Amino acid sequence: MTEAAPLPGRPRGGVLSGPATARAVNVLAPNPSAMTLDGTNTWIVAEPDSDLAVVIDPGPLDEAHLHHVVATAEQAGRRIALTLLTHGHPDHAEGAGRFAELTSTKVRALDPALRLGDEGLGAGDVVAVGGLELRVITTPGHTADSLCFHLPADRAVLTGDTVLGRGTTVVAHPDGRLGDYLDSLRRLRSLTVDDGVHTVLPGHGPVLEDAQGAVDFYLAHRAHRLAQVETAFENGHRTASEVVAHVYADVDRSLWPAAELSVRAQLEYLGEHGII
């Protein structure tokens, strides 16, 4: 779920569909839109010598796509053993129930309502399947239930909608909160500094090879937008829709409803911090 069309100066990547790292393969879902960029990235992750794989975000309820994911794993000689969700938005999670049925897997997510089976996901959890290790990082902000998955063996992180391959993400107020989102970006930044993560495997858009640059760009973009929103408010644009029309004038109008969610989150943040 993107907030803005591609912006100049942000880090760029290449891989969209197919293998991205030694352990991660993307199967692009056929749901492109202004909000989902090229479509949802459904990730198949496995140890190179393992016959077991994990799928992250089966994507929309699209029968052909879900079968394509299963077939892609099978062609590599793998059985899907577990389904994980980065968050509950339908473009990531709507197909999870059907996918679990097709693969006889459990679905693990932070939100209990999204789970199938008795296991959830939380901060510090390590998911281990066939020698593969994924470390769970809670990254609320886009939504309250957003997670990232650190794949240390590939120095990569699967970011869902917290960091996208293009443009910037929506802070989906009221579920998403800006203060949480900034904390989550800083958490991801420390992953790049302390754990040497350099590859972002996003929920939409191409793979990014400069994770730290991407996170820094997001932090700078957020600070820039926040300053714009504050100025707009001080200049008398008091409602979220007025602020959007002023601050997001250069962004396609089809994205304004999403931008309004981010503006609501920003106005809330400015209010909570006594700035406005």
Minimum CB separation of residue 276 from Zn ion in Å reads 27
Minimum CB distance to Zn ion smaller for 48 or for 174? 174
Position 134 contacts Zn ion (CB under 5 A): no
Minimum CB distance to Zn ion smaller for 62 or for 161? 161
Q: Which of residues 203-222 bind Zn ion (CB under 5 A)?
A: none
DSSP string, the chain: -BSSS--TTS------SEE-SSSEEEEE-S--BTTTBT-BEEEEE--TT-SEEEEE---SS-HHHHHHHHHHHHHTT-EEEEEE-S---HHHHTTHHHHHHHHT--EE-SSGGG-BSS----TT-EEEETTEEEEEEE-TTSSTT-EEEEEGGGTEEEEETSS-SSS-B---TTTS-HHHHHHHHHHHHHHHHHS---EEEESBS--BS-HHHHHHHHHHHHHHHHHHHHHHHHTT--SHHHHHHHHTTTS-GGGHHHHHHHHHHHHHHHHHTT--
Position 89 contacts Zn ion (CB under 5 A): yes
Q: How many residues bind Zn ion (CB under 5 A)?
A: 3
* Shortest-Cβ-distance residue relative to Zn ion: 89
Minimum CB separation of residue 160 from Zn ion in Å reads 7
Minimum CB distance to Zn ion smaller for 125 or for 161? 161
Minimum CB separation of residue 142 from Zn ion in Å reads 6
Position 1 contacts Zn ion (CB under 5 A): yes
Window of 47-55, 161-169, 175-183, 248-256 that interacts with Zn ion by CB under 5 A:
161-169
Minimum CB separation of residue 227 from Zn ion in Å reads 25
Q: Which one of residues 3, 38, 94, 161 is an interface residue with Zn ion (CB under 5 A)?
A: 161
- What residue ranges bind Zn ion (CB under 5 A)? 1, 89, 161
